[in-house]
Every structure is written in structure tokens, then in C-alpha cells.
């Protein structure tokens, strides 16, 4: 496959290539005659092998905001860097996204994953998204409710939305700002003090830098697994059997468990398979410890983690990252069958 000459950028540091890179600034048609993969900055991608088509990124990096009634309306191009957007808004005195500071990736990719951290998901702040269908170039605008936001999920990850490319996002941020500081590490760091968006932004950056390794120093894709949702009954049973269980009650009656705590409780910090390992400080992060990890190393490690957690807690972990094969994205179980046999 010598024609696959272009590397696929990914923060885990896996070696993979594609046929060409494209940067698009307007609605257009692509991915009809060959596979196409739309990416932000590669921070949530696991390329399992070379990709047989084109990798596409958005070029629009325009950013503006204006007041409307009781809100700020922030409009950002899909090619904007997410953390830079949050930083610029906080510097301008506009709060509402500071809990999502230091999350790598682009604005166009943020709604796809419905990124979230420290008590906030981006779907709560989105007014609308604009883009186009890459099969025919037809533009669209969708409201937040049309985007089917869920926990690390959206329309754009589902079968009927995977051809939709987000090129611009409008966020609605309340001028009557109220900080979210209930997340335990954030609350401890702020120590109950009256806060500003800048103080929460700074605290989130401190916590993330303490918890998560810098991908430029140690390849990783951030949180590898989602925090699993279980019933209140199952959570109560686990809490009785496992003192110190970290959990968070949800509004729908379910309970979210801390996946990192489950992995750590199984004694898996530092577990290595080839060049891949569970991070020694944050069990939710899998790392390319030597820069030589292969997709097979990573898949075997992720499978071992899932099996150990399942055996001890009866809880199945689901990856948060996206797995990319020759023709496009595939599920974790498909990847295991295909690349581990």
C-alpha cells in the first residue's frame, strides 16, 4: 500500500497512514468514491491500521460572540481549537465553558463526542450546529435537541448521522453566570471560596495536568473508557461489597461509576502489554509507554482491563475512544475479532 504516504495524526502515537489529507472550508462532497474520515486533532482516535482513503479536517477557525438578551451567543468555526476557545472566552469575562478547559480537540469534534468534564457536558451549552452532508454537500442546521446528545454520544455517532460534518457551532452561555464546583477534586481545590470563571478554569487546568499525562510526552488518548451507568440497585450492592466505591447519582435514577476507580481497585495501574500500559497515576488512561506500542498491544491491554473489571464488579466497560480500520470506524468488539482473532 505504498500510495498511503500521509501519516494519520493521533495523540496515542500509533503509526498509521492514509491516502491524502484534505482541509475543507465550505460545504462539499467527499467520501462517496472512497472512504473518508473527518477528524479534529486526533485526540480521540485509535488508528488500528492504514486507512484506505482521505483524512479530512475543517479549515474554518473564525470565532465571535455577542450579547443577546440574557445570554452570550458564541459562534465558532469547526476548525477552532477547543481549549483556545474556552481560554479566550474566560479572558473576555464570559463564563459557562470553564469546566471543559484543557480538553484536546477541535470545536467541530466537540459535539460529536458530547465532550464533558467536572459536571458539564458541551451539549448543555449548544444552541445549534451547522454543517453539511458529505455525500451530497447539502447544508444543515440542527438545534441541540436535534443532536440527540447523550453521555459521550450524539446523532453524529449514530448510523443516520455519521455522514454529517459539523462546520460551525453556536453556543449559548448565560450572562448571569453560576459556577459548577460540585465535582469533588474541584470543590477541594477551591475550598468553598466564591469563585470566578477564571478561577474555575485555572483549577480545572491544575487538576487535568495532575491527572492526565501530556500526550506530547507520553502518548495517550485521554480517558480510554466511559464511566459506566448502572441501576441504583446494582450500585447499592457494589457499595456494600466494595467500600469506597466512587459513584454519582444521575437525574434519571441511574448511577454513574468512576471507571478509573474500578480499574485501580483491580490493581491494574502499570499493567503493560508490549508498548501499551495502564498509566501508573491515572488508571483510566492507557498510554504508549515507549513510543513503540502497536494497535494489537493496545487492544489486548484494553481487553484485559475490561475482563478484569467485569470479573470483579459485573460491570462492562465501554471505550470512549474511536477505533479506525481501513474503511472507517468500527466498534471495540469488531476490532478485537479483527485484530486479535
Q: What is the CATH number of the domain that holds 47?
A: 3.30.43.10
Q: 288: domain range?
A: 219-340
Catalytic residue among 106, 134, 223, 306: 223
289: CB partners within 8 A, 6+ apart = 218, 272, 275, 276, 277
The average pLDDT across 3-27 equals 91
Q: Is the pLDDT of residue 193 over 90?
A: no
223 is catalytic: yes
- Residue that finishes a domain, picked among 16, 31, 58: 58
Catalytic residue among 121, 134, 320, 322: 320
Residue 210 lies in a domain: no
| pLDDT at residue number 195 | 87
| 317 and 261 inside one domain | yes
Domain count, the chain: 3
- Helices within the chain (DSSP H only): 82-91, 110-113, 184-190, 197-211, 232-241, 259-265, 295-313, 332-340
Take residue 80 and report the three cell numbers written for it. 477552532
Beta strands in 134-226 (DSSP E): 139-143, 164-174, 219-223
The average pLDDT across 10-27 equals 94
Residue pLDDT, tens place only, 68-91: 999 999 999 999 999 999 999 999
CA distance 58 to 106: 9
CA distance 46 to 220: 10
152 is catalytic: yes
In the three-class reduction of DSSP (H, G, I as helix; E, B as strand; rest coil), residue 334 is classed as helix
| 46 and 69 inside one domain | no
Burial of 326 from C-beta contacts in 10 A (0-12 / 13-18 / 19+): middle
253: CB partners within 8 A, 6+ apart = 231, 232
The average pLDDT across 197-223 equals 93
In the three-class reduction of DSSP (H, G, I as helix; E, B as strand; rest coil), residue 112 is classed as helix
Backbone angles phi, psi at 113, to 5 degrees: -85, -10
Catalytic residue among 17, 19, 125, 152: 152
| 81 and 164 inside one domain | yes
Residue pLDDT, tens place only, 122-174: 999 999 999 999 999 999 999 999 999 999 999 999 999 999 999 999 999 99
130 is catalytic: no
Residue 168 lies in a domain: yes
Amino acid at each position: 500500500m505504498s500510495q498511503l504516504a500521509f501519516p494519520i495524526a493521533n495523540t496515542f502515537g500509533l503509526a498509521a497512514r492514509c491516502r491524502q489529507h484534505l482541509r475543507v472550508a465550505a460545504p462539499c462532497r467527499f467520501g462517496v468514491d472512497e472512504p473518508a474520515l473527518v477528524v479534529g486533532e486526533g485526540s480521540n482516535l485509535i488508528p488500528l491500521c492504514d486507512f484506505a482513503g482521505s483524512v479530512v479536517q475543517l479549515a474554518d477557525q473564525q470565532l465571535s460572540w455577542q450579547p443577546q438578551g440574557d445570554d452570550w451567543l458564541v459562534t465558532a468555526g469547526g476548525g477552532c481549537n477547543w481549549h483556545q476557545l474556552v481560554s479566550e472566552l474566560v479572558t473576555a469575562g464570559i463564563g459557562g465553558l470553564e469546566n471543559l478547559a484543557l480538553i484536546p480537540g477541535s470545536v467541530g469534534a466537540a459535539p460529536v463526542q458530547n465532550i464533558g468534564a467536572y459536571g458539564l457536558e458541551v451539549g448543555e451549552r449548544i444552541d445549534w450546529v451547522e454543517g453539511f452532508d458529505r455525500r451530497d454537500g447539502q447544508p444543515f442546521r440542527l438545534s441541540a435537541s436535534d443532536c440527540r446528545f447523550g453521555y459521550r454520544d450524539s446523532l453524529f455517532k449514530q448510523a443516520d448521522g455519521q455522514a454529517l460534518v459539523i462546520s460551525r457551532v453556536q453556543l449559548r452561555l448565560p450572562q448571569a453566570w453560576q459556577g459548577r464546583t460540585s465535582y469533588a477534586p474541584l470543590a477541594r481545590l477551591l475550598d468553598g471560596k466564591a469563585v470566578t470563571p477564571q478561577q474555575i478554569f485555572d483549577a480545572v487546568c491544575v487538576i487535568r495536568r495532575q491527572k492526565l499525562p501530556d500526550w506530547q510526552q507520553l502518548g495517550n488518548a485521554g480517558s480510554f473508557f466511559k464511566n459506566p451507568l448502572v441501576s441504583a440497585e446494582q450500585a447499592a450492592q457494589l457499595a456494600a461489597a466494595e467500600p469506597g466505591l466512587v459513584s454519582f447519582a444521575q437525574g434519571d435514577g441511574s448511577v454513574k461509576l468512576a471507571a478509573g476507580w474500578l480499574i485501580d481497585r483491580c490493581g491494574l495501574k502499570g499493567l503493560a502489554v508490549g508498548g501499551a500500559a495502564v498509566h501508573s497515576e491515572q488508571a483510566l488512561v492507557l498510554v504508549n509507554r515507549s513510543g513503540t506500542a502497536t494497535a494489537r498491544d493496545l487492544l489486548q491491554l484494553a481487553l484485559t482491563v475490561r475482563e478484569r473489571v467485569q470479573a470483579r464488579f459485573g460491570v462492562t466497560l465501554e471505550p470512549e475512544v474511536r477505533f479506525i480500520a481501513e474503511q472507517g470506524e468500527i466498534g471495540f468488539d469488531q476490532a478485537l475479532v479483527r485484530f486479535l482473532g
